[in-house]
């Protein structure tokens, strides 16, 4: 059943200034590169410049949407992230100023690990249902960071996805029902006093697969489609082979053959961007959608599944129907340019960026100009982050 034809009207993304190829990581570590390319399904990872963060990437992702559609109908910004820059102020408020949006705007930040981008999307759909004249700007952006030489390090990445949610969407209309699942499990978390996450890798995989079962069970009990009626599935991708593992698990749970060919048909077109960007937490699943739309010319009017998972854990399975003329509205060339214009770095340069810390005592610091993006974090002054157009 359709939710009155409301969904994703436009989608744009941004990523960090730098890229570290995993071939370079393998050379540094003396590791077989297939550990990354085959085992994780990762080819490279985006690394933010010193003067980049979720605010600068979020603004850069959203700017093309405003250039195409204007802002007259946008009355809400929902920013989903698990790497927030402030414990009180929403990152979206900084974005609101950088983009010159009017004061008559609601701005809120949402958090639940990698899941909250989907919470923001569903809240946006509900707001547009209440007033179809309005549009909602949803931004999902993160920088994933793990300790050096830890198992999670090669999965790191950084990106922000911006989505314009509106009535009569040009890309994907969101469809009811949703399947929901929550379970209190400590598989991945980042205490306030840490800049890097803590992860129990084995438990996290098990928790993810448990969430796949739980969301699908709830989805089908609420009258959802059969798996055979879904053309492709976008999964949260902490690393791209996890999406394939999750889909094979779902196939098995549904009593269907769970071979690699079947998972490749459903998932393979969704992994291209994540494979070269790395894990971007809340943005990850929506990079999968961008990859699917950009790499596929014949998915119009077909149903796509979405499995959004956030450690800790909360998950949701829902579906969307791709618009008939989506090819006229996707941003394939722009998205590929975002990836291709990154600057390649070696492991030593990556390590220097990884180890750079902003002051935590509030002293003034001007940051070096590194980003070639539209917005930058200029520095810290009197405990305040100072953002400006580049």
365 torsion bin: left (phi>0), alpha (psi -120 to 50), beta (else): beta
Burial (Cβ within 10 Å: 0-12, 13-18, ≥19) of residue 245: buried
What mean pLDDT comes out for the span 229-238?
98
Residue 193 annotated as binding site:
no
Residue 208 annotated as binding site:
no
Residue 131 annotated as binding site:
no
Give 258's pLDDT tier (boundaries 50, 70, 90): confident
Q: Which domain holds residue 373?
A: 2-389
144: closest CA among 62, 82, 203, 89? 82
Reply yes or no: is the peptide bond before residue 313 cis, omega within 30 of 0. yes
Supply the mean pLDDT for the chain: 96
pLDDT of residue 26: 95
Say if strands 74-80 and 135-144 run parallel, antiparallel, or are unpaired: parallel
Quote the DSSP letter at residue 107. E
* Catalytic member of 24, 52, 82, 153: 82
> Whole-angstrom Cα distance, residue 150 to residue 382?
34
Catalytic residue list contains 82:
yes
pLDDT of residue 338: 98
**pTM higher than the cut 0.85:** yes
Residue 46 near residue 278, CB atoms below 8 Å = yes
Catalytic residue list contains 114:
yes
Residue 219 near residue 317, CB atoms below 8 Å = yes
Give 3's pLDDT tier (boundaries 50, 70, 90): very low
82-112 burial, b at 16+ Cβ within 10 Å, e below that, comes to: bbbbeeeebbbbbbbebbebeeeeebebbeb
CA distances from 207 to 184, 196, 197, 260, 309 (A): 10, 20, 17, 22, 9
Give 261's pLDDT tier (boundaries 50, 70, 90): confident
pLDDT of residue 197: 86
What mean pLDDT comes out for the span 347-368?
92
Quote the DSSP letter at residue 345. -
* Catalytic member of 9, 96, 236, 244: 236
Residue 387 annotated as binding site:
no
* Catalytic member of 24, 52, 109, 114: 114
Quote the DSSP letter at residue 226. P
pLDDT of residue 361: 81
Query: How many domains is the chain built from?
Result: 1
Residue 344 near residue 18, CB atoms below 8 Å = yes
What mean pLDDT comes out for the span 167-182?
98
The residues, ordered by sequence, that sit 6+ positions from 347 with a Cβ below 8 Å of its Cβ are 20, 24, 25, 27, 28
What mean pLDDT comes out for the span 183-199?
91
pLDDT of residue 324: 97
CATH of the domain at 304: 3.40.47.10
Give 1's pLDDT tier (boundaries 50, 70, 90): very low
């Amino acid at each position: 059943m359709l939710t009155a034809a409301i969904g994703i009207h436009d989608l744009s993304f941004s990523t960090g200034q730098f890229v570290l190829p995993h071939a370079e990581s393998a050379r540094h570590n003396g590791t077989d590169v297939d550990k990354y390319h085959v085992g994780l399904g990762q080819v490279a990872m985006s690394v933010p410049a010193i003067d980049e963060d979720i605010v600068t990437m979020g603004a850069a992702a959203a700017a093309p949407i405003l250039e195409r559609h204007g802002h007259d109908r946008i009355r809400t910004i929902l920013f989903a992230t698990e790497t927030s820059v402030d414990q009180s102020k929403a990152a979206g408020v900084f974005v609101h100023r950088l983009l010159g949006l009017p004061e008559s705007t609601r701005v809120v930040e949402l958090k639940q690990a990698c899941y909250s981008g989907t919470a923001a999307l569903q809240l946006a759909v509900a707001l547009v249902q209440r007033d179809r004249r309005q549009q909602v700007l949803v931004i999902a952006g993160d920088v994933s960071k793990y300790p050096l030489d830890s198992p999670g390090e090669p999965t790191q990445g950084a990106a922000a996805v911006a989505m314009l949610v509106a009535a009569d969407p040009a890309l994907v209309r969101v469809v009811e029902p949703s399947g929901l699942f929550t379970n209190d499990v400590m598989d991945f978390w980042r205490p306030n006093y840490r800049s890097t996450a803590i992860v129990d890798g084995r438990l996290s995989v098990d928790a993810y697969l448990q969430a796949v079962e739980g969301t699908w069970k709830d989805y089908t009990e609420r009258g959802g489609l059969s798996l055979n009626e879904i053309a492709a599935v976008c999964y949260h991708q902490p690393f791209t082979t996890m999406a394939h593992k999750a889909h094979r698990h779902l196939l098995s749970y549904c009593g269907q053959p769970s071979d690699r060919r079947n998972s490749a048909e459903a998932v393979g077109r969704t992994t291209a961007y994540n494979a070269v960007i790395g894990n971007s937490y809340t943005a990850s699943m929506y990079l999968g959608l961008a990859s699917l739309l950009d790499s596929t010319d014949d998915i119009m009017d077909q149903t796509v599944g979405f499995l959004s998972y956030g450690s800790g854990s909360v998950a949701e399975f829902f579906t969307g129907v791709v618009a008939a003329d989506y090819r006229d509205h996707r941003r394939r060339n722009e998205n590929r340019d975002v990836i291709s214009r990154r600057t390649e770095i070696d492991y030593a340069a990556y390590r220097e960026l990884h180890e750079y810390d902003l002051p935590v005592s509030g002293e003034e610091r001007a940051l070096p100009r590194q980003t070639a993006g539209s917005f930058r974090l200029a520095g810290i002054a009197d405990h305040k982050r100072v953002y400006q157009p580049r």
